[in-house]
Amino acid sequence: MPELSTNVTQATAVEEPLISPWKEGWRNFKKNKVALFGLGLVIFFIFIAIFANILAPYDAIEQKLGDKHLPPSAKHWFGTDDFGRDILSRVIFGARISLKVGFFSVIGSAIVGTTLGIIAGYYGRWVDGIISRIFDILLAFPSILLAIAVVAMLGPSLQNALIAIAIINVPTFGRLVRSRVLSVKEEEYITAAKAIGMGDARILFHHIFPNSMAPIIVQGSLAIATAIIEAAALGFLGLGAQAPTPEWGKMLADSKDFIIQAPWTVFFPGIAIMLTVLGFNLMGDGLRDALDPRMKN
């Protein structure tokens, strides 16, 4: 009987299908209700951004001075601003702008930061020293001050704000990937790949980079939330999107003088920023818990 039990156990173990890390991560992510709520918020704002032309009831930049500072009503759900523009339409189109800045700035910083981090971690020595010092210099400045300095040099515009946000996020991705590469390159399969004569480029692209994807994805989702806040801050200071672009930070700046007279002009853009950032942060925390092996029971 013990031999039969052992054979059955072994057969069951053999028949169990192997689950890829990504499928396992998704299965763990679905168990996190808070993370799913965050994902729902993200999908909601992405949907709004994609279909802004259909969903917006009015032109986002059309001025009607006769409708100045109308309170929320059936005609204008979010009210109107000091130029009579429909705030709901401007918030909807603002989602497209904020998500564009968030996604593209993070993609740019992730590409540059990941490349530099992989090179620094894999080759080490003086290469690592130079790249790490560059990261240290960038991290020595407060992020928003560095972004202001970059935009001041390039000129105030939405595109330059995107570039500035990408630059200040490069060292975050670089240091994260560098630490991951330092750990991965000591694994036995990397040593075996070198022993059989595999080139550095193939090792980097086929082994080290795929095994560094999980922290990059987690950091990317969290960085988008930060990028949206930074874009709103630059817009509020007049260094990002310029009038009449319906960008959330610029909307707050244009309405700050009417916060008592027409509070809805500040409330709805602020709520849009808060919900979008909350969604990405909750989703990022859920991805971290799902993809980090140390968080598993």
Domain assignment present for residue 269? The answer is yes
Q: Are 16 and 267 in contact (CB under 8 A)?
A: no
Domain assignment present for residue 10? The answer is no
CATH number at residue 71: 1.10.3720.10
What is the chain's alpha carbon radius of gyration, rounded to the nearest angstrom? 24
Q: What are phi and psi of 80, to 5 degrees?
A: -130, 165
Measure the CA–CA gap between 27 and 17, rounded to whole angstroms. 15
Residue 72 has pLDDT above 60, yes or no: yes
Residue 274 has pLDDT above 90, yes or no: yes
Mean pLDDT of the chain: 84
Domain assignment present for residue 25? The answer is yes
Residue 197 has pLDDT above 60, yes or no: yes
Q: What are phi and psi of 63, to 5 degrees?
A: -100, 135
Q: Which of 99, 69, 91, 64 is nearest to 81 (CA)?
A: 69
Measure the CA–CA gap between 105 and 227, rounded to whole angstroms. 7
Domain assignment present for residue 9? The answer is no
Residue 271 has pLDDT above 70, yes or no: yes
Quote the percentage of the chain above a pLDDT of 90.
Answer: 31
Place of tokens 């630490």: 179
Half-sphere exposure of 50 (CA within 13 A, CB side): 6
Domain assignment present for residue 151? The answer is yes
Q: Which domain holds residue 72?
A: 20-295
**Count of domains for the chain:** 1
Domain assignment present for residue 134? The answer is yes
Domain assignment present for residue 60? The answer is yes
Domain assignment present for residue 259? The answer is yes
